[in-house]
Amino acid sequence: MTLFNKNINWYRFSFTYLMITCGGFIQGMAMAVFLFPHSIPSGGSAGIAVLLNYWFEIPLSFALWFVNFSLLVAAIFWLGNKSAIGTMYAITVTSISVQLFESTATYPNSNVWIDLVVGSVILGIGVGLLLRQQVSNGGMGVLALIIAKYRATSPGKPLLLLNGSVFILTGSIIFWGIVIQAVISQFISTRLVDFIFRANVNPTLLLMARKALKK
C-alpha cells in the first residue's frame, strides 16, 4: 500500500468516526433535552429504557446503554466486526451525551408538541449521520440496518415498523398518548433519516485531503 493510500485511509477513518461522534452526540441531545422529559421514546431501545426507568428507576443513560449493547450482541454476526465496533462507539457516545444533558440542562415547562417536533428533527439528523457511516444507532436500528443492507433499501421504513411494537408496549404501561407522540416522532425522524442516508454528498474533508496529497 502506498503512502498516498495510507493517508487517504487514515482521513477516511478519521472522518467516519468524527461523523459517528457527531451523530451520537446529536442523538443523545435530542433524547435528553426534548423527548425523554416527556417520556417520549425515541426508538425501540429508548422505549425499553424508559420502561426500565419507570419500573426500577434505573438512570436513563445506563438503561439505554444496557439495552443497546444487549441487542447489539445478537446482531454482531450480521453486522460484521467493523460495523459492530462503530455501533458500540456510537451507543457509548449517545449514552454519555444523554448523561451530560440530563445532569447539566434545566427543563422549563415547555410545550410537549414543540419539543416533539424539534426533538424528532434533531434525532433524525443524528441517526441519519450514523447510518450513512454504516453504523447503527443501536437497538432496533441494528435490525433496520441489517434489513437495509440485505434488501438494498433505506433504513427509515423498517425502523418505523420495528419501533411500533415497543411503542405500543410502552403506551399500554405508561400512557397511551405516548404511542401517538412516539409514532409522530418516528414519522418525522425517519423522514430525516432517509433524506440524509440517500443524500449524495461527498465528504469535503476527504476531497480536500486528496487534493492536498496529490500536490
How far is the CA of 131 from the CAs of 20, 125, 214, in angstroms?
9, 10, 30
How far is the CA of 110 from the CAs of 7, 15, 34, 37, 125, in angstroms?
48, 36, 9, 10, 22
Would you state the pLDDT for residue 123? 93
Average pLDDT for residues 103-115, to the nearest whole number?
75
Average pLDDT for residues 109-125, to the nearest whole number?
90
Tell me, letter by letter, the H, E, C secondary structure of 148-182. Answer: HHHHCCCCHHHHHHHHHHHHHHHHHHCCCHHHHHH
Would you state the pLDDT for residue 126? 93
Closest CA to 39 of 52, 56, 25, 24: 52
- Please write the tens of the pLDDT for every residue from 147-179: 777 777 777 777 777 777 777 777 777 777 777
- Looking at the chain, the whole-number percentage of residues with pLDDT higher than 90 is 15
Q: Which three cell numbers stand for residue 95?
A: 449514552
Would you state the pLDDT for residue 213? 43
Average pLDDT for residues 62-73, to the nearest whole number?
77
| Whether the predicted pLDDT of 7 surpasses 70 | no
Would you state the pLDDT for residue 212? 47
Residue 134: CB atoms within 10 A of its CB come to 16
How far is it, in rounded angstroms, from Cα 3 to Cα 134? 26
Q: Which three cell numbers stand for residue 177?
A: 398518548
Would you state the pLDDT for residue 144? 78
Closest CA to 178 of 33, 24, 62, 51: 51
**The model scores a pTM over 0.85:** no
| Whether the predicted pLDDT of 206 surpasses 60 | no
- Please write the tens of the pLDDT for every residue from 10-29: 778 888 899 999 999 999 99
Q: Which three cell numbers stand for residue 75?
A: 446482531
